[in-house]
């Protein structure tokens, strides 16, 4: 019986588990419970991905109401792939979080932390799986509200102002998406994404549709922290508890990138967005500016968490650059980078959290001499850092390779060169931290402190992700297979929908009836 409802379970499971985690109350109980639930969600999403790769699309009608009237959950290669990354990172971060939050979050708030984490996971899974545009907004707000709470749980008071700024920006972004979806509904009379895609083709040049596109693009860009709209991200990532930062940096913005891909490729269609509206050039310019400006900002910061936060904005630039190339290869590079960046940033922020656990500071000065004192943590940081730079045999190399290949495929030498120059900045900002850790001596004042390696509970999840970084840098069959079938699928549906729109001329009468 559960087989039938497989598509709905990754949302429902954490949603039901969230209040139970709160009732359990004690740290150990809610930690164990939340980790278990997240692990189950990971197994489910693994099954969903293999089902989606072998059978194609899985459609699930919520409550038995057939789409397009009811809410449809729709799992295909693209979202199952991202869902797998999100649930995997969530599980590992939860294992890691027990000791980390003992240091950074008040005991009274521990159960709240796990509740908010599970709610955030439910929201993110919902955004990925749903096939309904309004439902997407609701899940977006569920995950965002949980995120604001998570950010504000740190003991440093600056997290409060960071969370407030995030709340204001995030709500404006979500409301923009709501306006956009409303405008689309006004013109087409439907909220189901596949149905929208068919009907929008009939109204491509309509001003209502174009305004809706603009609102949705700006709203999603705020959520994914595209360059000029990224101002909420560095303070939020810097002041949030380390476990929260590790989770958000590797999942929340990635899911928003997926939402953008979904709206561009499935709902609006490539021709409309890139040819008629010229979004490709806008996105490409913003992505390149993001890569350079934020990589530069990362090189001049002194707080290691801020360095990595700016680096995240720059990496989002690479993902947007990939999709702005408008080719199967470019989209595939974006999808691979969504997955690989989750691995890199997860490992980096976990390592930084481990340093905070022992040293009590994440300033670059605090890293001095840690290469000797915390060898395993700093080795993890080094490997994940090399992955961000894009050194061969790491996951980062694979995504940069596909991105540069995609650019060269179109003869776009400038973009390919810019990607490679952008990587040089990564050498500087990762290099500064490594220089402090390996070549500077431990300050005299610290020698009396008992700085040693963190316990296995923090090291194991950190190293699992680090080994995944190396594994997916050598054996790329899973990532490339999933990403290529996802991007081919996205392009195919795009063409298929356009053909069907031309043939049937979109049951005109039906559309007019609803929009009048």
Partner 1 sequence: MSFIFDYYNYWIVVFLMMAGFYIVISANNLVKKIVGLNIFQTSVFMLYISMGKVTGGTAPIVVEGVTQYSNPLPHVLILTAIVVGVATTAVGLSLIVRIKQAYGTVEENEFENKDDAI
Residues that bind partner 1 (CB under 8 A): 134, 137-138, 141, 145, 148-149, 152, 157-158, 160-165, 167-168, 171-172, 174-175, 178-179, 182, 185-186, 235, 239, 514, 516
- Using alpha carbons, list the distances in angstroms from residue 75 to 51, 118, 333: 9, 21, 21
Using only the alpha carbons of the chain, give its radius of gyration: 22
- Please report how close the Cβ of residue 168 comes to partner 1 at its closest, in angstroms: 6
Kindly tell me which of 232 and 381 has the beta carbon lying closer to partner 1. Answer: 232
- Please report how close the Cβ of residue 186 comes to partner 1 at its closest, in angstroms: 5
CB atoms within 10 A of CB 513: 10
Kindly tell me which of 168 and 282 has the beta carbon lying closer to partner 1. Answer: 168
Rounded-to-integer distance, Cα 140 and Cα 216, Å: 13
Kindly tell me which of 167 and 378 has the beta carbon lying closer to partner 1. Answer: 167
- Please report how close the Cβ of residue 355 comes to partner 1 at its closest, in angstroms: 21
Conformational region of residue 199, where left means phi above 0, alpha means psi within -120 to 50, and beta covers everything else? alpha
Kindly tell me which of 127 and 451 has the beta carbon lying closer to partner 1. Answer: 127
Q: How many CA atoms lie within 13 A of 100 on its CB side?
A: 33
CB atoms within 10 A of CB 293: 17
Q: Are the C-beta atoms of residues 183 and 208 closer than 8 Å to each other? A: yes
Peptide bond connecting 236 to the previous residue in cis, omega within 30 degrees of 0: no
Q: Are the C-beta atoms of residues 337 and 322 closer than 8 Å to each other? A: yes
Question: Distance from first CA to last CA of the chain, Å, rounded?
Answer: 42
Kindly tell me which of 174 and 287 has the beta carbon lying closer to partner 1. Answer: 174
Element (H, E) at 39: helix 27-55
- Please report how close the Cβ of residue 494 comes to partner 1 at its closest, in angstroms: 27
- Please report how close the Cβ of residue 210 comes to partner 1 at its closest, in angstroms: 17
Rounded-to-integer distance, Cα 367 and Cα 407, Å: 38
DSSP per position, 95-153: HHHHHHHHHHS-GGGHHHHHHHHHHHHHHHHHHHHB-BHHHHHHHHHHHHHHHHHHHTT
- Please report how close the Cβ of residue 153 comes to partner 1 at its closest, in angstroms: 11
- Please report how close the Cβ of residue 256 comes to partner 1 at its closest, in angstroms: 17
- Please report how close the Cβ of residue 403 comes to partner 1 at its closest, in angstroms: 35
DSSP per position, 147-211: HHHHHTTSSSTHHHHHHHHHHHHHHHHHHHHHHHHHHHHHHHS--BHHHHHHHHHHTTT-HHHHH
CB atoms within 10 A of CB 446: 15
At a CB cut-off of 8 Å and minimum separation 6, what does 499 contact?
none
**If DSSP codes are grouped into helix, strand and coil, which group holds residue 60?**
strand
- Please report how close the Cβ of residue 411 comes to partner 1 at its closest, in angstroms: 42
Rounded-to-integer distance, Cα 236 and Cα 224, Å: 13
Kindly tell me which of 139 and 402 has the beta carbon lying closer to partner 1. Answer: 139
Kindly tell me which of 148 and 367 has the beta carbon lying closer to partner 1. Answer: 148
Kindly tell me which of 148 and 463 has the beta carbon lying closer to partner 1. Answer: 148
Kindly tell me which of 445 and 516 has the beta carbon lying closer to partner 1. Answer: 516
Kindly tell me which of 185 and 491 has the beta carbon lying closer to partner 1. Answer: 185
Kindly tell me which of 151 and 283 has the beta carbon lying closer to partner 1. Answer: 151
Show the CA angle centred on residue 142, arms to residues 140 and 145, nearest 5°: 105
- Please report how close the Cβ of residue 265 comes to partner 1 at its closest, in angstroms: 25
- Please report how close the Cβ of residue 146 comes to partner 1 at its closest, in angstroms: 10
């Amino acid at each position: 019986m559960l087989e039938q409802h497989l598509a709905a379970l990754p949302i429902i499971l954490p949603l039901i588990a969230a209040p139970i985690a709160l009732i359990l109350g004690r740290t150990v109980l809610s930690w164990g419970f939340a980790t278990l639930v997240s692990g189950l969600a990971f197994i489910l999403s693994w099954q969903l991905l293999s089902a989606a790769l072998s059978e194609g699309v899985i459609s699930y009608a919520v409550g038995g109401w057939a789409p397009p009237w009811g809410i449809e959950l729709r799992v295909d290669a693209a979202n199952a792939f991202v869902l797998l990354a999100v649930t995997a990172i969530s599980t590992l971060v939860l294992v890691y979080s027990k000791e980390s939050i003992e240091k950074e979050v008040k005991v009274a708030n521990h159960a709240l932390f796990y509740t908010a984490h599970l709610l955030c996971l439910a929201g993110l899974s919902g955004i990925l799986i749903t096939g309904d545009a309004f439902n997407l907004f609701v899940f977006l707000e569920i995950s965002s509200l949980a995120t604001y709470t998570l950010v504000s749980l740190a003991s440093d008071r600056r997290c409060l102002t960071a969370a407030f700024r995030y709340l204001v920006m995030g709500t404006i972004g979500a409301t923009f998406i709501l306006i956009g979806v409303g405008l689309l509904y006004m013109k087409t009379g439907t909220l189901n994404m596949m149905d929208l895609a068919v009907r929008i083709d009939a109204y491509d040049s309509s001003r209502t549709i174009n305004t809706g596109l603009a609102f949705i693009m700006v709203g999603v860009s705020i959520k994914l922290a595209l360059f000029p709209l990224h101002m909420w991200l560095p303070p939020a990532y810097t002041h949030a508890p380390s476990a929260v930062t590790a989770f958000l940096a590797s999942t929340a913005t990635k899911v928003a990138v997926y939402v953008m891909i979904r709206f561009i490729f499935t709902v609006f269609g490539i021709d409309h967005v890139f040819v008629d509206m010229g979004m490709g050039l806008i996105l490409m310019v913003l992505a390149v500016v993001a890569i350079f400006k934020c990589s530069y900002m990362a090189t001049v910061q002194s707080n290691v968490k801020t360095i990595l936060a700016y680096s995240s904005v720059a990496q989002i630039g690479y993902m947007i650059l990939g999709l702005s190339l408008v080719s199967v290869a470019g989209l595939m590079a974006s999808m691979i980078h969504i997955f690989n960046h989750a691995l890199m940033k997860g490992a980096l922020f976990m390592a930084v959290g481990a340093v905070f656990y022992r040293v009590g500071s994440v300033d670059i000065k605090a890293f001095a001499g840690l290469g000797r004192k915390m060898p395993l943590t700093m080795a993890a940081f080094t490997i994940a850092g090399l992955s961000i730079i894009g050194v061969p045999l790491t996951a980062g190399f694979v995504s940069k390779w596909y991105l540069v290949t995609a650019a060269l495929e179109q003869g776009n030498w400038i973009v390919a060169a810019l990607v490679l120059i952008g990587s040089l900045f990564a050498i500087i900002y990762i290099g500064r931290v490594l220089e402090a850790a390996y070549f500077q001596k431990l300050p005299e004042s610290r020698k009396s402190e008992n700085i040693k390696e963190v316990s296995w509970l923090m090291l194991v999840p950190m190293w699992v992700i680090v080994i995944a970084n190396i594994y997916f840098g050598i054996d790329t069959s899973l990532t490339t297979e999933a990403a290529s079938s996802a991007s081919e699928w996205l392009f195919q549906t795009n063409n298929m929908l356009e053909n069907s729109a031309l043939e049937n001329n979109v049951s005109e009468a039906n559309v007019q009836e609803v929009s009048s």
